[in-house]
Amino acid sequence: MKNILVTGGAGFIGSNFIRYVFDKAGFKGRVVNLDKLTYAGNPENLADIQRKFKGRYAFVKGDICDFKTVAGVMKKYKISEIVHFAAESHVDRSIFGPKDFIETNIHGTFSLLEAARTIWGIGNREPGVGNRGSGKFRFHHVSTDEVYGSLGKTGKFKETTPYDPHSPYSASKASSDHLVRAYSDTYGLPITISNCSNNYGPYHFPEKLIPLAILNALEGKPLPVYGDGLQVRDWLYVEDHCAAIWKILKKGRAGETYNIGGNCEMKNINVVKGICAALERAVPARHNKALGGKKYSDLITYVKDRAGHDRRYAIDFSKLKKELGWQPSVRFAGGLAKTVDWYLANPGWVKNVKSGAYRSWLRKNYTR
């Protein structure tokens, strides 16, 4: 049975992925979660898994930039598969302070690649030799559609679309993708890469548009919409992303990149209006004292645009569909209703997240 190292498993997608692996994928081995616990990492996200799967789930607090830590974990737990989520993930933060993005997303990925190459005994690639040990080992790198840049009114990102990142975040992710691919081409490290569109769902940190708008609306606070609000994102329910990663990890071809998307292009302003409508169904505004007689949509506030804001993303995931039979299963309205219900059902999680390090960071750095 394989032991999987998940990096960044205490964050939004990583924690959903670990839950998916134990609860839905029928995995019988062990998952080791290596996470530095930055402001975005929260062990509470996996408290249920820690209880239910004692002995098969291990948490290690550590930094992926530290080669010794990573190599030590890989040796100790006889890791044969890595799913690499750990990253600084928020575009706005990368604009205010890019350094951590360069450190974790680039140097961290480099240190992981070096550890995998060393511990798995993969040397230099001989001319004409394919990926090494692809039946035995796998390094899956989780990346973003933002590496492709911005689209005009038509077209979609394909795996062959040239990279054109615009924010320090997307540039750092692009850089990490190139490194991962280079380790495949140069050393034959058995890798796969996925580039996914915007996720939403439970455990999403409330700095990102959807959870921020849900929680602000419930508290009667402004719902900030950047610029004209007509930017387009392609939304995917997080569990669908997890299912796609699992398929790629198990069945994807070594050396390949797979795009993942929700087939769900939405203008930001319509996402925010959708959140207002979903909240109105769950907690009608007239019963919510925080609104003081307002409607949820009265809270929508246009604010200064994000620097370098990409206009439109859309994903062509036909390769993943054709090769591995994956497609999204959750439609946006249903996924959003589930997400709203989750935030309403977990006030303790919300309180803890909002009162921690995040809040003090916001006070110091976030002047929007």
Told to check if 224 binds ligand DAU by CB under 6 A, we report yes
Name which of 122 and 279 has its Cβ closer to ligand DAU: 279
Q: Is 233 in the site for ligand DAU (CB under 6 A)?
A: yes
> CA neighbours within 13 Å on the CB side: how many for 285?
18
Nearer to ligand DAU, 27 or 258 (CB): 258
- Among 35, 63, 81, 145, which one carries the catalytic annotation? 145
Find which of ligand NAD, ligand DAU, none residue 36 binds, CB within 5 to 8 Å per kind.
Answer: ligand NAD
Q: Which does 91 bind (CB under 5 to 8 A by kind): ligand DAU, ligand NAD, none?
A: ligand DAU
Whole-angstrom distance, CA of residue 198 vs CA of residue 266: 11
Minimum separation from the CB atom of position 231 to ligand NAD (A)? 14
| CA–CA dist 146, 157 (Å, integer) | 10
User: Which one of 2, 56, 90, 221 is in contact with ligand DAU (CB under 6 A)?
Assistant: 90
Closer to ligand DAU by CB, 212 or 238: give it.
212
Cα–Cα distance for residue pair 193/259, rounded to 1 Å: 9
Catalytic, 88? Answer no
Q: Which of 35, 81, 88, 146 is catalytic?
A: 146
Distance CA 160, CA 158 (A): 5
Q: Which does 268 bind (CB under 5 to 8 A by kind): ligand DAU, ligand NAD, none?
A: ligand DAU
Quickly tell me which residue has 């419930």 as its tokens: 218
* One of 45, 259, 268, 288 touching ligand DAU (CB under 6 A): 268
Contacting residues toward ligand NAD, per CB under 6 A:
7-8, 10-14, 35-38, 40-41, 63-65, 85-87, 89, 104, 108, 142, 144, 173, 196, 198-199, 205
Pairing of strands 232-237, 265-267: antiparallel
The partner in contact with residue 168, picked from ligand NAD, ligand DAU, none with C-beta cut-offs of 5 to 8 angstroms by kind, is none
166 belongs to the binding site for ligand DAU (CB under 6 A): no
Between residues 103 and 280, which has the closer beta carbon with respect to ligand NAD? 103
Query: Which listed option, ligand NAD, ligand DAU, none, makes contact with residue 225 (CB within 5 to 8 Å by class)?
Result: ligand DAU
Active site (annotated) includes residue 35: no
| Closest alpha carbon to 339 in 234, 225, 218, 248 | 218
How far apart are alpha carbons 22 and 85 in whole angstroms? 17
In the set 20, 148, 169, 296, the catalytic residue is 169
Q: Which x/- pattern over 286-325 shows residues binding ligand DAU (rule: CB under 6 A)?
A: --------------------x------x------------
Name the residue with tokens 């916001």.
Answer: 362
Report which residue's Cβ sits closest to ligand DAU.
144
Active-site annotation holds for 145:
yes
* DSSP annotation string for 139-187: EEEEEEGGGG----SS--B-TTSPP---SHHHHHHHHHHHHHHHHHHHH
Give the footprint of ligand DAU on residues 132-151 (CB under 6 A): 144-146
Phi and psi torsions of 36, nearest 5°:
-80, -15
Inter-residue contact 204 to 214 (CB < 8 Å)? no
Rounded distance between C-alpha atoms, residue 15 and residue 9, angstroms: 5
- Give the span between the Cα atoms of 315 and 132, in whole angstroms: 30
Indicate the residue among 58 and 314 with the shorter CB distance to ligand DAU: 314
Cα dihedral across residues 7, 8, 9, 12: positive or negative: negative
Question: Which is nearest to 221 in space by CA: 230, 212, 229?
Answer: 212
Chain centroid to CA 27: how far? 21
Active site residues: 145-146, 169
Using CB under 6 A, list all residues that contact ligand DAU.
89-91, 144-146, 197-198, 208-209, 212, 224-226, 231, 233, 268, 306, 313
